[in-house]
Amino acid sequence: MWKGRFQQPTSALVQRYGESVSFDWRLYEHDIRGSIAHSKALVKAGILTQDEQQSIEKGLLGIRADIEAGKFTWKQELEDVHMNIESELTRRIGAAGAKLHTARSRNDQIATDARLYCRASVDQILVLVRSMQRALVECAERNADAVMPGYTHLQRGQPVLFAHHLLAYVEMLDRDASRLADARKRLNVLPLGSGALAGSTIVLDRVFVAQELEFDGVTQNSMDAVSDRDFIAELLFDFALTGVHLSRLSEDVILWASAEFAFITLSDAHTTGSSLMPQKKNPDVAELTRGKSGRLVGNLMGLLTTLKGLPMTYNRDLQEDKEPLFDSIETLGLALEVFAEMVSGMEVNRPKTIAATADPLLLATDLADYLVLKGTPFRHAHEVIGKLVAHCGQTGKTFLELSTADYRQFSEAFDDSVHDLLKVDVALAARKGAGAPSPQNVAARLNHWRSVLSE
């Protein structure tokens, strides 16, 4: 590439250290597509003839076919995906191939390839996020009437529907999808035509190229265009946060599948055994997903650290953006796919969840609300129920075993109607506020998500 300036060949060690084709070959489809659009712009600028452009396009499509068929040999000495393809094109079609790089640099070329790759990858991840949401909704529907304790501080708090718990993750994933769709809009601008950093005296129709490549517009500052990796950092954050959400769900699944909880049973197809202990059934999918979330966060941190000290414009450090990007896309994509499959095979152990929800202390807040509705200030009601809980602990009785007279020792606001309150189904039905887990609300939300996810 630079033999006119240099009189010594590049050291073999430097070649091995600096090559990126071992991983950026993944960009081949987008590199070829961008080059075809660029060749058409060169025709409009009078640099290429129509015949030369057609020869270039035919040659590039032939190279793409060979790559997809596994017949293309990537050469480390050519450093990256761009030069491997351009070199092979020139070998196949001659001088027309050598004209292709007119008015562009590898700086704006890689910036374009990366945006095309990210755009396509976001579309694929969005499909998988929606599939994961569908798996959760389907599992929630299968267990629409199953009850379980809701937890804070990993201590039983109040009764909820199992479906309501799963739908919490559907909401999280919807925010993830929204962030990805928003990031896609921001990244969908064309940097090609920015050159190495200052454009070119050979002026190309960048708007035409943007239309050819389905970009919404073109970048407006050539220096920013070739050095901008904000879009990759933003996507890595979105991927990492989606991974964190899957990790939280993983933790719930791991707890629920334990003998101590036994709220769910995972299928044999999505668990593993022990090489030593024959009784074991391990939730490996959830554990691996919990672990891989750290990898996604690490990829984000690595890129941000790379970017933080870079001067304008392109610096070779930016080569370090691609491996974390590729890894995060592949890691998250597989995690979403396998987790959705696992959730589809997950069964709820209703006797266990019912038994856990039968703990009368889960209705302590309901009793406080009962007093409030009788005219007691909440802070006083809270204190009364706290003393009532302590009394139950000292006497070994439950709320259900206390008489009306026992209740009235703590507050004269209690009457016989208190006993009607101490039922889980009554407590759930009373939670009718927007977003609360009444059966009616949960059914409506399931209908909402079924409609949204069928589109």
Structure confidence at residue 60 as a pLDDT band (50, 70, 90): very high
* 3-class secondary-structure state, position 184: helix
Structure confidence at residue 61 as a pLDDT band (50, 70, 90): very high
Q: What are the Cα distances from residue 198, in Å, to 42, 114, 192, 224, 273?
A: 18, 20, 12, 10, 60
Structure confidence at residue 12 as a pLDDT band (50, 70, 90): confident
Annotation marks residue 274 as catalytic:
yes
Section 134-143 average pLDDT: 98
Query: Is the bond preceding 73 in cis, omega lying within 30 degrees of 0?
Result: no
Q: How far apart are CA 349 and CA 266, in angstroms?
A: 10
Annotation marks residue 153 as catalytic:
yes
Structure confidence at residue 195 as a pLDDT band (50, 70, 90): very high
Phi-psi region of 242 (alpha: psi -120 to 50; beta: other; left: phi over 0): alpha
What's the pLDDT at 4? Answer: 65
CATH fold of 107-355: Fumarase C; Chain A, domain 2 (1.20.200)
DSSP 161: E
Section 412-428 average pLDDT: 94
Reduce the secondary structure of 31-63 to three states and give it as a string.
HHHHHHHHHHHHHHCCCCCHHHHHHHHHHHHHH
What class has domain 12-102? mainly alpha
What's the pLDDT at 8? Answer: 76
Section 96-114 average pLDDT: 98
- Homologous superfamily (CATH) of 358-454 is Fumarase/aspartase (C-terminal domain) (1.10.40.30)
pLDDT of 1 over the 70 cut? no
Section 447-453 average pLDDT: 96
What's the pLDDT at 2? Answer: 52
Contact 267, 255 (CB under 8 A): no
CB atoms within 10 A of CB 44: 13
- Residue 156's DSSP bridge partners are 151
Query: Of the candidates 107, 121, 97, which has an alpha carbon nearest to the alpha carbon of residue 48?
Result: 97
Section 201-210 average pLDDT: 98
Section 162-180 average pLDDT: 98
What's the pLDDT at 10? Answer: 80
The pLDDT tens digits of the residues spanning 278-300 come to 899 999 999 999 999 999 999 99
Q: How far apart are CA 350 and CA 424, in angstroms?
A: 14
107-355 has the same fold as 12-102: no
What is the overall mean pLDDT for the chain? 96
Which of 267, 274, 403, 417 is flagged as catalytic?
A: 274
Q: How do beta strands 189-190 and 217-218 pair? A: parallel
Query: Of the candidates 321, 304, 308, 314, which has an alpha carbon nearest to the alpha carbon of residue 108?
Result: 314
What's the pLDDT at 105? Answer: 98
Give the whole-number percent of the chain exceeding pLDDT 70: 98
Section 12-17 average pLDDT: 90
- For the chain, the structural domain boundaries read 12-102, 107-355, 358-454
Give the whole-number percent of the chain exceeding pLDDT 90: 95
The pLDDT tens digits of the residues spanning 65-94 come to 999 999 999 999 999 999 999 999 999 999
The pLDDT tens digits of the residues spanning 231-255 come to 999 999 999 999 999 999 999 999 9
Q: What are the Cα distances from residue 176, in Å, to 126, 236, 242, 244, 339?
A: 9, 12, 6, 11, 16
What's the pLDDT at 3? Answer: 58
pLDDT of 7 over the 90 cut? no
